[in-house]
Amino acid sequence: MKCPSYSNRFYYKELSEEDANCIKKDLILYNSMLYMAYKKLYLTCFHGVKDAASLQKQLKARYDKNDFFPLSAIHEARALLKSKFETNQRLKKECTIRIEIRV
pLDDT in tens, 54-87: 999 999 999 998 889 999 999 999 999 999 999 9
The answer to whether residue 50 is domain-embedded is yes
Number of domains in the chain: 1
Phi-psi region for residue 48, left (φ > 0), alpha (ψ -120 to 50) or beta?
A: left
Cβ–Cβ < 8 Å for 40, 58: yes
- Identify whether 74 is part of a domain: yes
How far apart CA 95 and CA 13 sit, in angstroms, is 47
For 7-50, write each residue's pLDDT tens digit.
788 888 889 999 999 999 999 999 999 999 999 999 999 898 98
Q: What is the mean pLDDT of the chain?
A: 91
pLDDT for the residue 7: 74
**Integer-rounded Cα radius of gyration of the chain:** 21
State which residues form the domain around 35. 16-102
Note the pTM of the prediction, 2 decimals: 0.81
Structural domain includes residue 9: no
**Is residue 24 domain-resident?**
yes
Question: How far is residue 93 from each of residues 6, 22, 46, 97, measured CA to CA in Å?
Answer: 47, 45, 19, 6
Q: Does residue 4 fall inside a structural domain?
A: no
